[in-house]
Amino acid sequence: MSLIYVTSPIHETILSRLADLGEVRLGYGPNAVGYEEIRNQVDAVFLRGGHISAEMIAASPKLRIVARHGAGYDNVDYKAAADYGVWVTNTPGANQRSVIEHVFALLLSLCRKLPLASEQTRNRVWAEDRLALTGIELEGRTLGLVGFGNIGSSVAPVAEAFGMKVIFTDPAIDPSSDNRWVDFDTLLSTADVVSLHVPLLETTRNLIGAPEFAKMKDGAMLINTSRGGVVDEQALVNALKSGKLAGAGADVLAAENIDMIKPFDHATPDIANTPNLIVTAHVAGQTDESLMRVGMSALEAIATVLKGEVPAHPVNQPVPKSFS
């Protein structure tokens, strides 16, 4: 019987279906099992939170697949996995709708100053200073999308439905194929709102820092639902405090790469208490519907590999490996 290790909570329906594929051991909850306890027997890892390192993979002789619950795979060493004959898969597009809606949840909250309005009413202050709660409308403003893949390109029609003008930049797309394509610097200097939709790679680490904030329009806003390391967070705090940016919304922090449970213990000072910054706990993809779609995609990848077949969404190409 195959042994499947689940690192973090997933949809209950998916958890029950995993049991049809083999023995399921959980890395969370009251009966949590540490990876080191099962590494010699584990055949598949259902990876949501946490990290799977090269050392963990090397110590797992029976491991066949690490199935990522989500599109990003920066929390698994997929190159080392390939060397050890282990598939790494992801679930592109499965949480797309959820993330798109979260982009606008953050943006609308900033534009209408919802955190301040909510705080005041919780303190039994109704609207003594209405000017402090005056918002702005999206119609007529320019949204600049950095990255135009599955999610970025799907954000565009929603923004256009709000009456926004959309521009984007993406080195993987031919500039002549879409008249909304602009170069990076033009996007920064033109957009009223910059929204990030890129993976965390060495080429995108700190993609938005002090020089980029300086190029942005005074009073612009930044939305980041991609990965925390794409933004220099100290530069972000500085831009917000100086008034260069009117606001920012972040669903991700760079410190998640250190500690996904308590990232604020390692985060940039003031990241959690800058008034015009909304931070959510990496929940853009967390809706009931999305968890089901993403979970099914990851489950199918595990089922496929355990049958000895090639999964639908591999992010690496492992060397052949024999399993006893």
Instruction: Tell me which of 227, 233, 293, 313 is the catalytic residue.
Output: 227
282 is catalytic: yes
Identify the DSSP state of 242: H
Cα(98)–Cα(158) distance, integer angstroms: 13
Instruction: Tell me which of 11, 69, 141, 282 is the catalytic residue.
Output: 282
CATH superfamily of 3-93+288-306: NAD(P)-binding Rossmann-like Domain (3.40.50.720)
Among the listed residues 223, 231, 226, the one whose alpha carbon sits nearest the alpha carbon of residue 191 = 223
Between the alpha carbon of residue 74 and those of residues 33, 152, 254, 257, the distances in Å are: 23, 19, 12, 9
Cα(305)–Cα(87) distance, integer angstroms: 8
Among the listed residues 146, 160, 153, the one whose alpha carbon sits nearest the alpha carbon of residue 188 = 146
Domain borders along the chain are 3-93+288-306, 96-279
Q: What pLDDT is stored for residue 323 in this prediction?
A: 56
Domain at 96-279, CATH from 1.10.510.10, 1.10.472.10, 3.30.360.10, 3.40.50.720: 3.40.50.720
Residue pair 237/266 in contact by the 8 Å Cβ criterion: no
Q: Is residue 307 scored above 60 in pLDDT?
A: yes
**Tens digits of residue pLDDT in 75-102:** 999 999 999 999 999 999 899 999 999 9
Q: Which residues contact 20 (CB under 8 A, 6 or more apart)?
A: none
pLDDT band at residue 6 using 50, 70 and 90 as cut-offs? very high
Q: Is residue 107 scored above 60 in pLDDT?
A: yes
**Tens digits of residue pLDDT in 120-142:** 899 888 877 788 899 999 999 99
Instruction: Tell me which of 197, 256, 293, 313 is the catalytic residue.
Output: 256
Between the alpha carbon of residue 184 and those of residues 144, 147, 212, 238, 263, the distances in Å are: 9, 10, 9, 21, 30
Q: What pLDDT is stored for residue 282 in this prediction?
A: 92
Stretch among 21-25, 225-229, 254-258 having the lowest mean pLDDT: 254-258
Q: Which residues contact 304 (CB under 8 A, 6 or more apart)?
A: 310, 311, 312
Q: Do the domains 96-279 and 3-93+288-306 match in fold?
A: yes
Q: Which SS3 state, helix, strand or coil, does residue 263 take?
A: helix
